[in-house]
Structure 1
Amino acid sequence: MSRLSRGVFILFVVLRYGLDELVLSSFRHPWLRLFTRILTLGRNLHAPRGERLREALERLGPIFVKFGQVLSTRRDLMPPDIAEELAKLQDRVPPFSSEVAVATIERAFRQPVDQLFETFEREPVASASIAQVHFATLRDKSGQRRDVAVKVLRPGMLPVIEKDLALMRMMAGWVEKLSDDGKRLKPREVVAEFDKYLHDELDLVREAANAAQLRRNMEGLGLVLIPEMLWDFCHPEVIVMERMKGVPISQVDVLRAAGVDISKLARDGVTLFFTQVFRDGFFHADMHPGNIQVSLDPATFGRYISLDFGIVGTLTEFDKEYLAQNFTAFFRRDYKRVAELHIESGWVPPQTRVDELEAAIRAVCEPYFDRPLKEISLGMVLMRLFQTSRRFHVEIQPQLVLLQKTLLNIEGLGRQLDPDLDLWSTAKPFLEQWMLDQVGPQRLWRELKAQAPQYAKLLPQLPRLLHDYLQQPRGGDSRQLAQLIAEQRRTNALLQILLYLGLGFFTSMLVLVAWAHLNVYF
């Protein structure tokens, strides 16, 4: 199917399911609405609008299903009937044939399913836009019987995604050429980011690696459980993992009846998000309710269970530091610092007046402080910030698109769990501690430990390097001398820092000893 035919198909689906009613009703020209009615004469529009929208998104394919998943978490922006229906896209996408799933598993591991597993449930327990999951049991290397979940990639996904992405790239090019905001919004770079993550999601081994990384990162935090991947049974089309047993987070009444502290659960969700983003720079970027459960097992009661790791976001150290400083300045209501950070980062033109940008940011954010989450819509805040960014020619950063999407998911989840949650006050202590770790003595000590092996190797070589240089004829290569001088300066700086630390430690010990003697004396 060509891009043109795919575009025609999308238009047909929109009209076939009556989605034009959701858009064209606001158009000024009645002839346009009449034209669509003539084109779709005889269609049945008796089904509720939410059901028609969900069915249309399912018909259009995985990219549109994911779009519906994001919309389902925004109950403050979507009418209740549409939000409820779109929630079914989270894990109730129509499954594909079990025979196809079995054939995929047997092709991947070159063994019959009955030899791979002791038991295999042909009926899938969950079906999503990219893959579906079957429960099974197997014997591990020690001979113990183990419950597992088998995730199988939906067949024929790559051609569909390629066609939709081609259309998105084409439309992004139109936006960039025809829109005044095209250059600032960087639509082609944004589409390229989604292209990367969607293709990553089609490789289930990559998803297994993402899960393993998150599992290591979250060890010791005591807030979330992540399934163990069984690497002997991992393939790009099939992965086998530890089976997790929990209650879907959307079943709040069931969790509350079981004794789960819902308010704490909401706070823990915020902590998890900020830990993954700012401490690790590696975060789960598909945190809709269909991918989150809560454990009721006595040993792990009240902990999150995280599933589906096909899409993760990553941030560089520069991104993390910039975002943390912005968030911290926001929480302190230091709007001048926020404006300065935007200018320093190059996100706005250097000639931008700090006081004007400061006033605009204050007007957007100030009304939302000290208010519970039920009275705040991050969607509305982002929309107003978007309008402000257009005025000041702020360049959109494509690498942060997934972070923005995840932040909206977190807000939707927090709103569902505890509408009275104060998002700002919950996040502020974490960010302030993170900033202290970045600039305090712990950061210095980590850097010294990281660089110590390099300098330990370099120090014995300095005499030889100096001797080799002195043996060269006059006018020799000055770059070697520059390198030597640079390395010597770095070494001197390190030794100076170590000297200061040693003196500081020695002085502190003297003060403590003197204080102890004074206490004994008095």
Structure 2
Amino acid sequence: MLRAARSLVRLTRAARVLGKHDALFPLELRAEMPAILLALMPLAKIRFPWEAEPEMRSGDAGERLATALAALGPAYIKLGQFLATRPDIIGTDLASDLSSLQDKLPPFPMAEARAIIEESIGKPVEDLFSSLSEPIAAASIAQVHKARTKAVREGEEERDVAVKVLRPGIEQRFAGDLESFFWAAERIERNYAPARRLRPIEIVETLADSVKLEMDLRLEAAAMSEMAENTAKDSGFRVPQIDWERTSRRAMTMEWIDGIPASDRAALVAAGHDMARLGRQVIQSFLLHAMRDGFFHADMHQGNLFIDTDGRLTAVDFGIMGRIDPNERRFMAEILYGLVTRNYVRVAEVHFEAGYVPHSKSVHAFAQALRSVAEPIFGRPAREVSMGKLLAQLFQVTEQFDMRTRPELILLQKTMVVVEGVARHFDPDHNIWESAEPVLKSWMMDKMGPEARIEEAAAGAMQLGRVMSHLPEVLDRAERTARLLAESVDEEGVRIHPSSADAIARAQEARFSRRQPLIWLAIGAVGALLLANLF
């Protein structure tokens, strides 16, 4: 009851802020709204005596909504960014408007930042840094300062670093807003059947999980460290180094990046960077990280990318990361490669193999639907083809074929749309298919070619060998257990007869004897598979 009351209060406040920005019942969307929402419109227009006269709002529905969400604070900014990844829920146009939502807020005072650093790291700021600047960037969860480390050991050099500090009280504010989101998602899923396919509760859970990771800067530092190891040999991508000695839960210190922001295209052109190459690099880096490592930067917009003097992409802000397991990587690689090569039947088959589409549906009907979406984009100029719009059209097919939302793939889908936008920002004529094809083809050859199948078969044989090596020990343990049972007494004082114990042991041996031919048959099958792959 208290949870419901708290959630209602918070959501009512949010509704009134949205109403003030004409973003709660926008005129442009009223034709699509349920009758119950339209009936509540008069309540949203009530103005209390202490409230100021509402300002006239300009812009379309998406722009007004983005402004309102920014006014509501960090959790709603994140919600807006998250909804921008789901055109299947809110529509393509609205998702496009929300994708421009900037994660910017006024900075908090310098005195509070210093206090957080000292309390979190456990040392005075003067012992950690010889200088600490005013905030140079402020976002919904944290703000960033430029600093210079203070040498504390003989021979140690001072270095320029970036210090990220969490906002005061941000954990409590997010916890309250997320509680409201969960409460609303539960009501929607319980009372509005068409929304269940979209799994609103799991969507909020995905949002909550990503936010929890952002609330502990040690986890972000660990993500940076892991990606730095993964990409150490990648020539066109780099990750700043972490200063672990000056990093804690609420403050993180990393290498300072001297580079041109990816958002400043004019400066990049003036510096002589190859913009077409940068467009290819951002797409190929993302696909390489996702397919090769199963671990990718899930917030790769222009504000989180810099270009260093060597032309390398340098990523910052690793608060939102994505992981996909080997099976999902294979499915996604085959789906994308199938779209690139226009093999729609194979793309459809992979959807069924992965369980994305119920087996009660027709593979060929689904392939036909995919063809209707993809064929119109082929042969058109690259600047007219949008990966974001293509994904949005694919999402529209999901309802027809009863496809359920895959929360584990939401971040991947979102990042694909974002990096396409970055590539087009670098090079308006960028062709995402041409950039993606060599990475996908190489990955599939490595993971699905003959050599990969041999490795899988060998791994299976090794696993079987390990099982076989433990069989004598298992039999010995079974015999000892039977003898112990013969000597034991249960709670009611009933002793198991020795002849029964012997019968148990003989049964164990007989069972193994019957299974022996099957085990050797399995070993023979693995050997035949290896030979078939080799020859």
TM range (shorter): 0.7 to 0.9
1:27 partnered with 2:38:
no
Q: What letter matches 1:133 in structure 2?
A: V
Q: 39, 42, 66: which one pairs with 2:47?
A: 39
Q: Deviations over 1:95-151 (max 9, x none)?
A: 111111100111012221011112211x11111111111111112754111111111
Q: 1:365 to 1:25 in 2, by over 3 A?
A: closer
Name the structure 1 match of 2:341: 332
**Does the 8 Å CA contact 2:457/2:529 hold for their aligned counterparts?**
no
Name the structure 2 match of 1:421: 430
**Does the 8 Å CA contact 2:92/2:392 hold for their aligned counterparts?**
no
Moved more, 394-403 or 470-479: 470-479
Name the structure 1 match of 2:380: 371
Q: Distance between the aligned counterparts of 2:187 and 2:470, measured in 1?
A: 58
Q: 1:415 to 1:39 in 2, by over 3 A?
A: farther
Name the structure 1 match of 2:493: none
Name the structure 2 match of 1:264: 277
Shift of 1:33: 7.0
Q: Deviations over 1:380-400 (max 9, x none)?
A: 323322222111111111111
Shift of 1:267: 0.3
1:172 partnered with 2:185:
yes
Q: Deviations over 1:59-93 (max 9, x none)?
A: 3122322355579999x9779x9789x56x24x42
Q: Distance between the aligned counterparts of 1:479 and 1:429, measured in 2?
A: 52
Q: 419, 425, 439: which one pairs with 2:448?
A: 439
Q: For 1:2, what is the secondary structure of its paired residue?
A: helix
Q: For 1:152, what is the secondary structure of its paired residue?
A: strand
Q: Deviations over 1:354-381 (max 9, x none)?
A: 2221211111111112334421233332
Q: 250, 258, 265: which one pairs with 1:245?
A: 258
Name the structure 1 match of 2:495: none
Q: 20, 28, 31: which one pairs with 1:16?
A: 20
1:303 partnered with 2:307:
no
1:286 partnered with 2:290:
no
Shift of 1:166: 2.1
Q: What letter matches 1:213 in structure 2?
A: E
Q: For 1:338, what is the secondary structure of its paired residue?
A: helix
1:101 partnered with 2:133:
no
Q: 507, 515, 521: which one pairs with 1:475?
A: 507
Q: Distance between the aligned counterparts of 2:166 and 2:455, measured in 1?
A: 42
**Does the 8 Å CA contact 2:74/2:174 hold for their aligned counterparts?**
yes
Q: For 1:115, what is the secondary structure of its paired residue?
A: helix
Name the structure 1 match of 2:498: none
Name the structure 2 match of 1:134: 145
Q: Distance between the aligned counterparts of 2:47 and 2:28, measured in 1?
A: 16
Q: 1:273 to 1:238 in 2, by over 3 A?
A: same
1:254 partnered with 2:267:
yes
Q: Distance between the aligned counterparts of 2:43 and 2:467, measured in 1?
A: 77
Name the structure 1 match of 2:324: 315
Q: 1:487 to 1:161 in 2, by over 3 A?
A: farther
Across the aligned residues of Structure 1 and Structure 2, the Cα RMSD in angstroms comes to: 3.6
Name the structure 2 match of 1:388: 397
Name the structure 2 match of 1:190: 203
Shift of 1:313: 0.6
Shift of 1:189: 1.4
**Does the 8 Å CA contact 1:149/1:240 hold for their aligned counterparts?**
yes
Shift of 1:227: 0.8
**Does the 8 Å CA contact 2:454/2:530 hold for their aligned counterparts?**
no
Q: Distance between the aligned counterparts of 1:365 and 1:227, measured in 2?
A: 39
Shift of 1:465: 7.0
Shift of 1:207: 0.4
Q: Distance between the aligned counterparts of 1:467 and 1:108, measured in 2?
A: 56
Q: Distance between the aligned counterparts of 1:232 and 1:487, measured in 2?
A: 54
Q: For 2:135, what is the secondary structure of its paired residue?
A: coil
- Consecutive unaligned residues of structure 2, counting only runs of 5 or more, are 481-501
Shift of 1:444: 4.6
Moved more, 149-158 or 451-460: 451-460
**Does the 8 Å CA contact 1:61/1:129 hold for their aligned counterparts?**
yes
Q: Deviations over 1:157-201 (max 9, x none)?
A: 122222222222223223323334333222211211111111111
Q: For 2:507, what is the secondary structure of its paired residue?
A: coil
Q: 1:96 to 1:442 in 2, by over 3 A?
A: farther
Shift of 1:210: 0.5
Aligned length: 492
Shift of 1:346: 2.4
Q: Distance between the aligned counterparts of 1:151 and 1:24, measured in 2?
A: 41
Moved more, 135-144 or 483-492: 483-492
Q: 1:326 to 1:218 in 2, by over 3 A?
A: same
**Does the 8 Å CA contact 2:143/2:166 hold for their aligned counterparts?**
yes
Q: For 1:259, what is the secondary structure of its paired residue?
A: coil
Q: Distance between the aligned counterparts of 1:234 and 1:447, measured in 2?
A: 41
For 1:91-240, list aligned pairs within 5 A. Answer: 92-121=104-133, 123-138=134-149, 139=151, 142-240=155-253
Name the structure 2 match of 1:347: 356
Q: For 1:43, what is the secondary structure of its paired residue?
A: coil
Q: Percent identity?
A: 34
Q: Deviations over 1:237-287 (max 9, x none)?
A: 111111111111110010000000011000001101110111111010111
Shift of 1:460: 6.8
TM-score by length of 1: 0.83
**Does the 8 Å CA contact 1:273/1:283 hold for their aligned counterparts?**
yes
For 1:480-495, list aligned pairs within 5 A. Answer: none
Moved more, 57-66 or 439-448: 439-448
Q: Deviations over 1:437-466 (max 9, x none)?
A: 112244256557877987887787677778
**Does the 8 Å CA contact 1:73/1:288 hold for their aligned counterparts?**
no
Moved more, 26-35 or 436-445: 26-35
- Consecutive unaligned residues of structure 1, counting only runs of 5 or more, are 505-522
**Does the 8 Å CA contact 2:82/2:207 hold for their aligned counterparts?**
no
Q: Distance between the aligned counterparts of 1:355 and 1:500, measured in 2?
A: 32
Q: For 1:413, what is the secondary structure of its paired residue?
A: helix
Q: For 1:475, what is the secondary structure of its paired residue?
A: helix
Moved more, 26-35 or 395-404: 26-35
Q: Deviations over 1:20-54 (max 9, x none)?
A: 57x23443699987775553886353575498655
